Amino acid sequence: MAGPEHMDNRNWKGVINQILYGLIFTPQLDDDTAAQMAAAMVERRYFGDGPGVYADAIAQAQRYDGPLTDESETSHSEQEFRDFLRRLAGELDQRRPWH
């Protein structure tokens, strides 16, 4: 359903797709994977936009009730990916403040 946030849809969804793409060869979406990805985001390795951009996109994805895995090839289920985003958000929060 298109609401006022629909205009931002492409922006945050593109960022979420970057995260999903980063998991293409990752079989286990566990706490270690979330910690490693959060560290890479904070250090701006592979994820050059900085942790704030990713944290904001994750927050928007968590409020979105549509599919998050529909635009990228992935072996991860929608629920696995949503669980991973929740873990990743927690890892990013633990690393605040970002520089």
The per-residue pLDDT for range 60-70, each reduced to its tens digit, is 999 999 999 99
Distance CA 90, CA 76 (A): 20
Q: What are 51's two structure tokens?
A: 């942790």
Distance CA 81, CA 40 (A): 18
Q: Which pLDDT value is given to residue 9? A: 58
Distance CA 97, CA 1 (A): 35
26-67 residue pLDDT tens:
999 999 999 999 999 999 998 989 999 999 999 999 999 999
Domain residue ranges of the chain, discontinuous segments joined by +: 8-94
Q: Which pLDDT value is given to residue 1? A: 38
Q: What are 78's two structure tokens?
A: 């929608």
Distance CA 34, CA 48 (A): 17
Q: Which pLDDT value is given to residue 3? A: 40
Q: What are 75's two structure tokens?
A: 């072996």
Q: What are 27's two structure tokens?
A: 């079989």
Distance of CA 81 to the CA centre of its chain: 9
Predicted model pTM: 0.88
Find the DSSP H helices in the chain: 9-22, 31-42, 51-63, 78-94
Residue 19: pLDDT over 80: yes
Range 78-91 average pLDDT: 98
